[in-house]
Every structure is written in structure tokens, then in C-alpha cells.
Amino acid sequence: MASASAFPAGLRLPAHKSEALAPAIAIAPAPSQAIVSLDQGSGRAALPCVEAGERVRVGTAIGIDPETRNRVLHAPVAGVIRAVEPRVSATGTGHGLCVVIDNDGTGDRDPALEPIDDAERMPAPQWIECLANSGVVGLGGAAFPTAVKLAAALAREATHLVLNGAECEPWICCDDALMRARAPRILLGARLLLRASGAGHCTIAVEDDKPEAIAALKAAFSSQPDERITIRAVPAVYPAGAERQLLTTITGIEVPSGSVPSQSGLLCQNVGTAAAVADFAVTGEPCIRRIVTINGSGVVRPGNLDALIGTPIAELMAHCGGYRGTPERLIAGGPLTGRALPDDGIGLTKAMNCLVAASTLDLAPRGAEMPCIRCGNCANVCPAGLLPQQLQRSAQAGELEQAGAWGLLDCIECACCDYVCPSRIPLTQRFCEAKSALAAREERLRRAGDARWRFERHQARLQADAEAERRAFDEARRRARNDGAS
């Protein structure tokens, strides 16, 4: 096992993981009613392909991709569709279309689901096609469709697959639990991902504060050795698991700004995603469950649950002994990048790696914002090498052009700068807003450009028509004159 090069910046944070890691992964009971959001966290909502009153079985497709028409969302329980309606959700504006399924308790499996025994020998495009209908997405939190990433990697002849088991953010430990308990599945997933992407090497990157996970992976590896796969420890520094930063740590290659990893011949997948790919091949069951960490001092028994997508968060919390006191905030994800949820009736999504019931003990009151004193702490910890103090000045002044020059779009929103800012400036929030403003402006410019193009074409057409008419008139007159003369 090679040791990774030192991470250039970032934070060493208290992990808060040991308590949730103490019990083994528990299987959460199926909910009596599953609430499956059509946007599972990627920001791209699926189209519902079922209607209220329809009966579905476990694994029946309920949502398709609006463009590719691939089956990307599947019923986690068997039963009757109660409604397809907008509900409070964990994505976008906070409301989104959800498929609500009343569980009939039969657990009937869709008969079409069959294991894919020859996945390791299947041609890559065909295997990707299978995965495109499996609903497997990036389970690290981004929920980006795995098949799309694999297809891009295959098309660009990626050579190196990195499996991300860094899991650097505090509280979150679902990947650690998974690596400890199901390492052989991860290795199978690695081989299947190598098959699909055409890459020749795979590095499984695990933070060096997870010795049990590394030991479990090594044990699984020694029983089924594969010279293409290496296991590597990376320093436990937040955000070691950020995609671009991890790829640099492992390969030394910096993915150029504005391009995606596959353009550099790299592919990064979460270890949970690898296990989901393997599960799909072995059982034929699409991605309808994930491991989620339930953590925080606002829950009685922190732990990791293997739960069905769509299970209401309240039921997951109840399975962990319920709330301790009244938690202040419910966070989907970690404390630095997680999203505070307004309601625990929201169903589990594929993007939720962790749910923190945070009491006041876990939260830091922000206090009033003060002016920036240019101390430079933010630049000191920024893993993207930005100068957040300069960036925020431009962002706050609305100088989007200048903010872009300071690397606004290179900000990975890890919130390290926020964490260390003595002036309590909500830097990440400000950068997100500036990014939205920049995107909106570009959209406006694009529309304005389109409109101008249409206008100019219209003008040209009018002019051409007028010209043609005039010419026809001239021609007619000339002919009339000639006729008169003859």
C-alpha cells in the first residue's frame, strides 16, 4: 500500500464517527408508505411513468430520464401508487414531485429482474446499457447517473478508475461501515466498473483514519487478488474526498478547470456506488436501497442503516431510538456541506449519505457578520487554491466578471473558508449565490443572442422578400414595355 502525497490544504476536523460505527449495519424495515422524489438529488428530475392507482412491484420502474428515456427510478416497495404529487423535498427549491407508494406488505418482486451473471464478460457498451436502466447513481452525495459517467469514460478511453472511500466530512460513516462489512462486494464492483469504463487500473482511496476499512478491503483483496486494483491510504484531511482533489492526490493529475475528469483519462466513483453496481449484477435488483448514517447528538442510537429509498426520515430516526430531546436542525449530508431539511417526513433519497439530528451541542452559532480583515485563513485552507477573501469582495459587489477571474467556478463549495473565517462571513453561501447569478446572466445573454440572431434572420428574410418583389416588379414592367414596343 503506497502512501499518498500530502494534501495541500483543508481542515483536520473532529470526526464524530465512532459512535455510529460501533453497531453493525442494521436493515431498516420497509416503510408502510414510500415517498420517492423524482429528483433524487442530482438536480435533474425523472419523469414519472406510473399513475395513481397503478400497482407496482419491488423494482418496477416508476421514473424515466426525460431525455434518454432510461428507467432511472424504481419502486422500493410493492403496492399501489397513492399519488404522484408535489411534496416537501430535499432538493431544489424545497418542493418537488414525488411518487407516493402504499406498501401492501407482500414484497412482490418484479419478475423481470434477473441477475446479470456475465457482466464481467459483457462488452462494455452493453454493460453500460444495463446499468443505465439500473437506477445506480453516485451514492457519495451527488447522485449523478453512473452509466453517464461510465459512458463518458469509455468514450474518452479513461485509464484510471479511482474508488472514493475517503469520506472526509465529519459525522458521515456509511462508506466506512460498508467497507468494513461488505469489502468483497466493493472489489467485485471495482472489477465491474473497470469492465464498463475500459480503464486498466483501479485505486481504492481510503482515509488513513479508517484502519478497519483498509484491513477489511485488504483481507477481501488477498482472497481474490487482482493486479489491476490497489488500495491506498490518503491523509484524513477534509476535503480529501472531493473529486478533483482526490484525483490529484492519487494520480498527481489536476483535472483542468472547466473540464471533467474523463477528459483527463480519469474516472472517480464512490465505493458505495461500486457496491451498488455489484449488488445490481448479483441480484438483478435496481438501486432501491442505500446505506445511510444516522448521527448527531439529537438521536438516541446513532448508527448505519441499510434502508429503502423513499423511507420517511422520521421512520429511520425512530429505528435508531428516536430523537433525543428536540433536535435543533435536521441535516442531510455532513455539517459542512449538508442541507438543512425543513421536515422529517421527506423520503430517503439516493443522495443522502447521512442524516444528522443536530442538537445545539453540534451546531456553532454563527454570530454577526463582521468586515473581512484579510487575515488570509480562508486562502490558507482552500483546497482549490483560491483567494476567497478577494472572491467574496467581488461577489458581494456583484462584480461577476471579476469574481469569475478569481476562480468563482473553481470553488468546490467545501466550506473550509467559512469554517475558519474570524469575521463569520457566509462565504460559501455568497459564492453559491454568485454562481447562480453568473449562470442566470449567461442564460440571459444566450437568450439575448438567440433573439438577436432570430431578429437578424427575420430582417434578412424581409429584405430578401422585398428585393425579390422589386425584381419581379421590374421584370414585369420591362416585359410589359417590351411587349408594348413590339
Partner 1 sequence: MRFETAAAPHVIAGFTVPRVMFQVLLALLPVSVAHVLVFGPGLLLQLAIACPTALACEAVALRWRGHAAGSFLRDGSVLVTAALLALCVTPLLPWWLTAAGVAAAVLLGKHAFGGLGQNAFNPAMVGYAALLVSCPAEMTRWPLPLVDGAHSWGDLATLTVHSFYAGTSAIVPPWDAYTGATALDSLRTGLGQRYTMGEILAQPQFGALGGAGFQWINVAALLGGAFLLARGIVRWHIPVAFLAGLLLPAAVAHGLDPGANAGPLFHAFSGATMLGACFIATDPVSAATSDRGRVVYGFCIGLLVFLIRRWGVYPDGVAFAVLLMNAAVPLIDRYTVPRIHGHPRH
Q: Which residues bind partner 1 (CB under 8 A)?
A: 170, 244-245, 248, 254-258, 314, 323, 327-331, 333, 335-345, 356, 358, 362-364, 366-368, 370-377, 379-380, 383-387, 389-390, 407, 410, 415, 418-424, 426, 428-429
Using the Cα atoms of residue 192, residue 157, residue 243 and residue 142 in order, give the sign of their dihedral: negative
Expressed in angstroms, the distance from the first to the final Cα of the chain is: 102
Between 62 and 313, name the residue whose CB sits nearer to partner 1: 313
Cβ at position 345, least distance to partner 1 in Å: 8
Cβ at position 244, least distance to partner 1 in Å: 6
Cβ at position 323, least distance to partner 1 in Å: 8
Query: What are the distances in angstroms from CA 175 to CA 221, 315, 436, 451?
Result: 17, 22, 31, 49
Between 38 and 247, name the residue whose CB sits nearer to partner 1: 247
**What CA–CA distance (Å, rounded) separates 241 from 13?**
14
Q: CA 429: distance to chain centroid?
A: 19
Cβ at position 307, least distance to partner 1 in Å: 18
395-410 per-residue burial string, b: 16 or more CB within 10 A, e: under 16: beeeebeebbebbbee
Between 120 and 433, name the residue whose CB sits nearer to partner 1: 433
**What CA–CA distance (Å, rounded) separates 40 from 347?**
10
Between 144 and 419, name the residue whose CB sits nearer to partner 1: 419
> What is the radius of gyration, based on Cα positions, of the chain?
27
Cβ(14)–Cβ(323) below 8 Å: no
- Which residues, listed in sequence order, are joined to residue 26 by a DSSP beta bridge? 305
> Collapsing DSSP states into helix, strand and coil, what is residue 32?
coil
Cβ at position 240, least distance to partner 1 in Å: 14
**What CA–CA distance (Å, rounded) separates 170 from 191?**
29
Between 181 and 314, name the residue whose CB sits nearer to partner 1: 314
Cβ at position 270, least distance to partner 1 in Å: 20
> Collapsing DSSP states into helix, strand and coil, what is residue 312?
strand
The three cell numbers of residue 400 are 461577476
**What CA–CA distance (Å, rounded) separates 78 from 256?**
46
Cβ at position 216, least distance to partner 1 in Å: 29
| Residue matched to cell numbers 468494513 | 180
Cβ(266)–Cβ(160) below 8 Å: yes
The three cell numbers of residue 472 are 419581379
Between 29 and 426, name the residue whose CB sits nearer to partner 1: 426
**What CA–CA distance (Å, rounded) separates 31 from 357?**
20
Cβ at position 172, least distance to partner 1 in Å: 13
Cis peptide upstream of residue 145 (ω within 30 degrees of 0): no
SS3 of 212-266: the string is HHHHHHHHHHHHCCCCCEEEEEECCCECCCCHHHHHHHHHCCCCCCCCCHHHHCE
**What CA–CA distance (Å, rounded) separates 228 from 122?**
18
Between 130 and 313, name the residue whose CB sits nearer to partner 1: 313
**What CA–CA distance (Å, rounded) separates 219 from 263?**
34
Between 301 and 424, name the residue whose CB sits nearer to partner 1: 424
**What CA–CA distance (Å, rounded) separates 31 from 102?**
9
Between 70 and 295, name the residue whose CB sits nearer to partner 1: 295
Cβ at position 191, least distance to partner 1 in Å: 30
Cβ at position 305, least distance to partner 1 in Å: 18
Between 368 and 485, name the residue whose CB sits nearer to partner 1: 368
Between 286 and 333, name the residue whose CB sits nearer to partner 1: 333
Cβ at position 136, least distance to partner 1 in Å: 26
Phi-psi region of 367 (alpha: psi -120 to 50; beta: other; left: phi over 0): left
Between 196 and 382, name the residue whose CB sits nearer to partner 1: 382
Cβ at position 30, least distance to partner 1 in Å: 21
